[in-house]
Structure 1
């Protein structure tokens, strides 16, 4: 290995210019909220949640990218490259497949039905109970995700730059609540576009400067190759291996298909553009953006490893968690440039704010339209209820940030909650679109059993990791050329972190060793198996008399529908099934 390239005794502190850059991003986001809140009347669900179906293709595409790429992604993917190598980069293939599946299978069905909430489909296909169950799962998962997506970047920058979590988090959250509540989807989309530009500018600049200081990309590649970080084609099909080519491509495909094809926050924006053709182009741009962002994050991970290959920052106590490696790298590379660290902080928090604003907007719609539709006073306009709900959810999220902070090791369990709910949710849609014989009893039974089964696997695995019974092997790191020592760390004595050694996992149940990327696929399979079996055993009494709408099914299964299904449900019947607020 070469001598360490970057190795400061302590990260530089933030200056007023850096704080000014961060404050400017927040001010511009707030201004966008005020502009759309005052210039557009948003008294209806269609206006507040879908921008009047008049949104432009490009800003919606950028907004989708921004909400998908959270601060967790920007900090977590480079940390993944540093610890486990580049195998996760195969997710680029998954993103392409997700875009194709969403555009060709799911989107045409939503468009034909003329719905504004993805969960309306479940009511049209099954019944209101199934719709509410899926809405509850979505709401629970999102209420845990929103505070985490804010807390993770705040924690990283707090420990690396000295910014206090309890100062940054409330300020950023309050600004996000303000523009999301006041401006609706229009404000969410345009602030996402602004924040994405800031985020991408920061990432590209630090990549360019970092590669130059390290001697070019050829040198970066050489160091990563020597450190065994270049792992692209591990073709081991073992589903219990933490990561391989197949677990990434197949597992990540289903894991994120659940969000991108059925999640309300995504479907809501697909349908905010004027027509299906524009929506399809939007999904294509979205998929391309995901691939590009992933590759940029992978490149940052290679830079981080090349910088600290001979002096692991965690052992040398310059950082306490892997998520802090990229911020530390930025401070080391560009901390001397006035304003740049502030720009990067603004970029990472922009990704977090875009995820939060999107979550608040879509979750408000789900609660008002799907869960509380029959309990809210009609004297108050739907738009007012939506704004009130978005604000309330925002303040709850701020409070939950403090709860997340005190959970310690349970934090990873909360992040895994997405795997618990995404499988059952995706399973409901696939069951409805591809299996004409499935009924509401099968859908309810399949989703509930899947929810509890996957929950047992996910939280069982997290508990086993927390207790040390299950350990995932990380790649070796070194401190042989460190020039900095802190605390009890002694140069030359410790060359590996504690989490690198692979312990004996034989005492753990085999199912708990399942790769985390397969959690969603496991949930999907359980829904399909149980759902179809229960549907066969418990045929609904009115199933034969109920008209079949071919628009509810994927065209691939139209040939298996009864001949009389050619006559679709009439517009009056469709209107009868639609919720009151949607009308």
Structure 2
């Protein structure tokens, strides 16, 4: 049983989230207020919200467990995050921002049509339900270990708290609570590094030297083997596709940037979050190396138990509560973001399109009801899908979603970067690309990071090829207006080049793109020096 002071810390944190949810959302009056914060949010909280959504409890607990067994090689999963964010800043974000859509999947119907829109909506829900469910599992696992309570009891409590404050404030509550939660997670990371060092009576760099001598910093693996985990080529090809879908074409991230006041805010938030996300993830993995030194490399039956055991056995009273609160923060920041995004997509892409017949927008009451139902679905998926896993949750989730990311990314690439692609052609390519890549991947038994690249390539070829067979229902002018190059020409022609001092033109390299590319390359330099 947790000491009283730890319980108080956790309760204060949870109450604080509810208060922020209420205060931030009390002025919500319209659907746009609830879903997009009236497009009025400052860039810094958006940046921290993007970071919080990305850095879940899976990374805070699963990351150290993965690094404990595999060293720093798992960082290669995230190394192309800045490259994907660069593509967003350089091309896709200006396109989506200019169109003023609420859901990214509205764009797919504007450019292609209903078939492709529905397929990309479906993959979004599958990916999101898998991700958000895994993000609930981690704190549930911690509480189960500490209290002995059943997952069946713990999971509903966590999800219901997330639902309540999300309902109270909508996207404003999500962004502001995420801001606080990111700071709590950073504190938990710092403490999780400091405490093992205190017990070991070693300096930070002495501990790193021990891990380095054991080969734990051998990160860059240039083996061209589809079956080997976290190689350089898997990261460059598979990782780039996976993260491009996430940062360029996924509602969970797009919805954050659509709340910004201007394109300058969009670019600032994406640039700063790209750096912060990878720095935080690196240090979360570093915790695993410190624990490897602390436990002298002893094996654990479940890699997720590495961090959990340390919290229970070695973390002082009071600090335990803060680290558990940090785990809650990481989990809930991901739950609230994905819950809000799933609600948005369901309303804009399903409910309003097929069921809602009124001219005015869907009421806040209906919006909140939909959020509640989605939250209940999450509870059941957590209990049945993740209850018995013994591998790192990061590894499990990555494999689950990898089958969908390639086809989804290919569909958006065809839409935004080609004029030939049409609705039936891309939809056919999506379905056949998913099926054929699934069987090919399982036949080759590839490491899951490759799956996105394989699925994307097959779907792109099939989607483009089928587009020659099916007739296009849209005129060339309609198509051009929704491609990245077509929008660039349109904006230049109309001398609509800047907003708030930042370029709104796709394919315009500015200081934000240069900063991101510089950071992307700097990562490899640091990894090479540490190896």
| TM bucket, shorter chain | 0.7 to 0.9
Q: How many residues align?
A: 489
* Pairing 1:525–2:511 present: no
Considering fraction of residues, name the structure with more helix.
Answer: 2
Q: State the SS of the aligned residue for 2:229.
A: coil
Which of 82, 93, 96 is residue 82 of structure 2 equivalent to? 96
Equivalent positions of 1:266-277 (< 5 A) are: 266-277=253-264
Q: Does 1:58 align with 2:15?
A: no
Q: Does 1:552 align with 2:487?
A: no
In the alignment, structure 1 residue 30 sits paired with structure 2 residue 18: yes
Moved more, 378-387 or 107-116: 378-387
Instruction: Report if the CA contact (8 A) 2:398-2:448 is conserved.
Output: no
- Correspondence 1:433-512 to 2 at 5 A: 433-456=416-439, 460=442, 509=443, 511-512=444-445
2-side partners of 1:343 and 1:456: how far apart?
45
Matched, 1:361 2:344: no
Cα deviation digits, residues 254-285 of structure 1 (max 9, x gap): 21221111110110111111111110111001
Q: Does 1:147 align with 2:133?
A: yes
Partner-residue secondary structure (3-state), 2:187: helix
Counterparts of 1:136-535 in structure 2, within 5 Å, are 136-159=122-145, 162=148, 164-214=150-200, 215-312=202-299, 314=300, 320-334=301-315, 337-373=316-352, 374-376=354-356, 378=358, 381-405=362-386, 416-456=399-439, 460=442, 509=443, 511-512=444-445, 514-535=446-467
Q: What residue is the counterpart of 2:502 in the other structure?
A: none
Distance 1:325 1:231, change over 3 A: same
Higher alpha-carbon Rg: 1
Taking structure 2 as the reference length, the TM-score comes to 0.86
Distance (whole Å) between structure 1 residues aligned to residue 23 and residue 435 of structure 2: 45
SS at match of 1:148: helix
Any conservation in 2 of the 1:123–1:130 contact (CA below 8 Å)? yes
- Residue 421 of structure 2 contacts residue 467 of structure 2 at CA under 8 Å; is this kept in 1? yes
Instruction: Give the C-alpha shift of residue 34 in structure 1.
Output: 1.9
Q: CA RMSD in A?
A: 2.6
Secondary structure, aligned partner of 2:28: coil
105-114 vs 230-239, which deviates more?
A: 230-239
Q: Equivalents in 2 of 1:250, 1:23: separation in Å?
A: 44
Deviations 1:111-161 (A, max 9, x none): 222212111111111012211221112112222332221013322452366
Q: Distance in 1 between matches of 2:412 and 2:396?
A: 26
User: Pairwise mapping of residues 77-96 of structure 1 onto structure 2 (< 5 A)?
Assistant: 77-91=63-77, 93-96=79-82
The 8 Å contact of residues 88 and 248 in structure 1, kept in 2 or not, is answered as: no
Distance in 2 of aligned mates of 1:210 and 1:77? 16
Q: Which runs of 5+ in 1 are unaligned?
A: 1-12, 315-319, 461-508, 568-583
Change in CA separation of 1:250 and 1:92 when aligned onto 2, cut-off 3 Å: same
Give the C-alpha shift of residue 548 in structure 1.
3.3
**Aligned counterparts of 2:95 and 2:302: Cα–Cα separation in 1:** 44
